[in-house]
Structure 1
Amino acid sequence: MANIEPIRPSDVAHPGPFRHDLIHVRGLRLHVAHTGQPTNPLILLLHDWPGAWFDYFWLLEPLAQHGYHVAALDNRGVGLSDKPPSGYDTIVAAGDVASIIRALGHDDAILVGAGSGGTIAWATAARYPINIRAIVSICGTWPGLVNTLAWRHPFAASGQLLARAISHFPPLAARALRRRPMALSRWITTRAAATPLSGQPLHHLDTIAHWRGLHARVDRVPEKLARWAKIPTERLPRRWATHPIPAPALCIDDGTAWWAHACDASSNYTTSHHRASCAGRLPYITAPEDLADTIADFAQGLTTPR
């Protein structure tokens, strides 16, 4: 099967009640879709693999209505962001996130990350604690913790083990995404949503699966996505993990025992741990208003910005 013709990054700049901007940081341009008053506290949304900013398409406005400046980030190499040859690891991603916070005119932010985005949120809070007010991790763990948990419960953690395998063979993964972007994106997305709590209608799920398929056709994106797959299994430098992070952390699981256990295990790395459950692993797609209320309730209990 021949490769499908690539498309332009602008083809995934879907319009909505927000604005698209390219922010210059660290020698490259990172894309954000953002809404809300820039003077309001910042909530920065970090996407999962193999998604992009549009995973949070329906969460941006509900969070902004709670009184926040809300921005959904495209990681380097993804979406509308620049695609440099290097920097596809947790350490660099944490630096990108801290730089984006400052470039958007804020001293700190609440980070909301799903899956690998949650792992990046934990890493950023460990390395740049002054810039992080709190983190919300949706089915995401402390960097590298998934390694131990996955090998103990391989069937429950098959998705994490698959991502780890993909990261060892990036050329093969990139070729598969180039040849069958729609089929693979739909399979990954619907598989992530198929959890016991997903009884309610999966609103917008088909749209996101389609957008992820389009995104996999953007020039050079398949190669970069293949390199990002390793994030949940990457360990932090030991010096980053000598003390629990000072930022409060809300861990949201999908109602399964494995992710509940993963959230509990991550509690060892923060001084203030909170727990919640949502309908499946994609609540930002299937129940964005409910997730926005959960995040806002958690944020209201925080102290004033530092």
Structure 2
Amino acid sequence: MALNGLHTFLFSYVCVAHVLYLVLVISILRQRKTSSIMKGSFFSLVIGHYVADVIYLFEFNILMRGRKYGYLTSFFQPGSPALIIVPRISTALHYYIKIVVYIGQIVFALNRLTSAMFPINYNHIWTFKLLVVIWFFQWTVPLAAVLPINLDMNFTIKYEIYSSEGTLRLENDPVSTDIIAYIDMATSVTGTFFSFIMYILTCVVVRRDMAAQVNLELRLLTSAIIVFIVLSVNTVMQVLTILQNKVGLSGVMFINDLSYPVNDMIFTVQPWALLIFSSVIRSHIWATLRGKKYE
């Protein structure tokens, strides 16, 4: 089954967005040698988040979209061990990288809160050593949530080949399906809740002491909130999915159609949010494209 018009558009959009994302990261790395702006902790977090988004991009478009639309089917044969091994890797990687992204959202929110509370010297708090510690826990803690279920061979997680449709179907037993869904919902809700609280506090601080705020930091706050909104939509979808499956909530079947576009937005929204809301970021990127230093 070939990609339909919507998914062809989404795939094209994702490719364009990540070329832009790569240009943004190159600009940060190149310009931070001379630009004090790009040396800030926020942009270090952007680079770290880029790694997660790239993994998310390839995992989702190769393993998820490829399974649904059949361009992985030819790599599998009936009875092959790959029909059991690959779906476990795919499932583990998908939910692992989502939790990494959720944690990253909390870190961004905390970074913006400290920037509002200490607008002049907050970067002295966010030292490189602290960032390394944060990244270590961000990338290791999610393993505890996804590995036990995906390594337990008592659970059914496998592909079934549907030759008539030319696609692979992911088959899960009810227990593993529920556990995975609850893990996804719990981590998403937790990330959204704590981020929401911190963004509310940030807005309160900014409103009380607007004169002390730096314009660029306010722009970065706006872009971070935009990313948060996209992840909040994902959280709502996780909750509605649970309600649909467990209590028979009607009228929410549309979330199945939204799942792919929302996932695409999660790993592509960062560069757009920064470019749209910050002329300084645009100027840095333009300088990089011209092979010059930002002035």
Q: Do the two structures share a fold, i.e. TM-score over 0.5? A: no
Whose helix fraction is larger, Structure 1's or Structure 2's? 2
Q: Relative CO higher for 1 or 2, CA cutoff 8 Å, sep ≥ 6?
A: 2
TM-score by length of 2: 0.29
Whose strand fraction is larger, Structure 1's or Structure 2's? 1
TM-score by length of 1: 0.28
